[in-house]
Each structure stands twice: as structure tokens, then as C-alpha cells.
Amino acid sequence: MPETRHTAKQREHVLREHVFLLGHDDRTPEHKHTRGHLVYPATGVLSLVASVGAWIAPSNRVVWIPAGFEHQHRAHGRTDMRIVFMAPSLAALLPAHPAVLVMTPLAREAILTLTGSERRSASARSRLRRVVIDDISTAPEQPLHLPEPHDDRLRAAAALVEEGISNPLTLSEIGHQVGASERTLSRLFRQETGMSYPQWRTQLRVHHALLLLAGEVSVINTASACGWANPSAFIDAFTTLVGRTPGQYQRSLREDTTPV
């Protein structure tokens, strides 16, 4: 699969605001930075992959990555990735762990301005960063994180669910295949992911749906491929997590964004 590589010049520039234009399935190498930073997909969809799980962000969300956190980005569809680094004083106002946050219209314009081609003074850039932090820090974290299980039984269970995502399994059915009771698996899901099995499965389904929709699969076919019995249930679950309907989300991916 294609993988992007930061050149020496890019590594020097990426310590400031920067733009990376990624093709579908482009991936960055695993890396970490000495400063916390926001990663915003102005177009397309970005996933953040790390040892503790995966986060996913469409263009109405922004990913916060604290300093020193090793991670990798993956683009789904053509993606315009904007990066804004934050001083420690501003980073302290955001979570101490990676998070997906709501991208407000004001914060979006500030990030596009910061990463645009027009030169601005250091003081102006500092004020814009403050606007971004003030606006996104007031919104709650978005439930677009899929924790990575560590218990062997739970990892096997998660793999079974993912492999058969179009045909939902009960915990009892999974337990028979991985050698654990339904009660044990239920306890492990809450203990290791912070969610019940149905909640975790919904997160997994929505993650898959985001990627299928980015690949221009229809809403009805996406609902079926991700295991929903009917499109209405899919639309309700998707809208709750993503903040827009599957149709609205898919249309937004087709819209061209003119670089700032």
C-alpha cells in the first residue's frame, strides 16, 4: 500500500502549521512530536492508528494528539490534512490523551487561515491558535474512538466481530468460538474498552461505515454491509456518532475545498 514519507524539508516545516495532500490509503510512518497538535481533514477522512486503538475523523471533526504520543495517519479518500501545533500552555487546555473533537465553523476557518498561503505575523498566528482552542475545548469529546483490546479472548472476539460485521453475532455465539462465557466477555468489554459489547460493536460498525461511504458505497449498501437490518436504524446510529446523516456526510466528501 502507498505510504507517504516526510522529507527533511517537510520535517522542518511540519513543526509549524502545515498541509499534506494525501491520496486514498496513503499512510504516514509511525511517528511522534515534541508538541501536541491538531490534525484536521479539510476534505476526506483521516484515521489515527496507535497501539491503544483507532480514532477516525471526517471533515466536521478534528483530532487532538498530545505531545510524545506515537501514532500513524491513514487517509480514506483524497484527504487535505491540516496540522497545527500548540504551545504547552494551550495544549494543557485539551485532553491529556488523543481525542476526536467537534470542528466548529469558527475553529475551521481559523485552522484554514493558519495553514493557508498568506503570511501572518507571529502574534496574529498566536491569536488564531487561541481562537481554535477556545472554540473546540468547550465541546465534548466525540465517541469516535475504537479501543484496542489486550486480553487474548477479547482480541479473538473482536476479530470475529470484525470479520463477520455484516452478520452480527451475540456474545453467547462469540463465547462458544473463543472459549469464554458470555458473562466473562461482557465484563472484559467494559473493563478494557469502557463500553458494553453493543456499544463497542456500534462504534466498529460506524468506523466501517465512514470508510465505505468515503469509497462511494451507497447508504443502503453500507447499512447492509455493516450489519444493520434496515437503513433507518443505521442512519440513527450514524447520525448520533458523526453529527450528520450518512447522506449528508457522503455529499460533503464530494464537495471540492479550494486550498486557502
The 3-class secondary structure across 185-245, one letter per residue, is HHHHHHHHHCCCHHHHHHHHHHHHHHHHHHCCCCHHHHHHHCCCCCHHHHHHHHHHHHCCC
Question: For position 218, which CATH number holds?
Answer: 1.10.10.60
CB atoms within 10 A of CB 258: 6
Do residues 21 and 103 share a domain?
yes
Please report, in tens digits, the pLDDT of each residue of the chain (260 residues total). Answer: 444 444 434 443 445 688 999 988 899 999 989 999 999 999 888 888 887 888 888 888 899 999 999 999 989 878 999 999 999 999 999 999 898 898 889 999 999 999 998 888 989 999 999 999 999 988 777 778 888 888 999 999 999 999 999 998 899 999 999 999 999 999 999 999 889 999 999 999 998 998 888 778 999 999 999 999 999 999 999 998 888 899 988 887 766 444 44
Domain for residue 21, yes or no? yes
Residue 1 lies in a domain: no
Task: Tell me the CATH number at 126.
Answer: 2.60.120.810
pTM over 0.75: no
The answer to whether the CB of 215 falls within 8 A of the CB of 207 is: no
User: What's the total number of domains in the chain?
Assistant: 2
165-185 in b/e burial notation, b at 16+ Cβ within 10 A? Answer: beeebebeebbeebebeeebb
168: containing domain: 149-254
Question: Do 153 and 241 share a domain, yes or no?
Answer: yes
Q: Are residues 62 and 172 in the same domain?
A: no
Task: For residue 20, report the phi and psi dihedrals to the nearest 5 degrees.
Answer: -125, 125
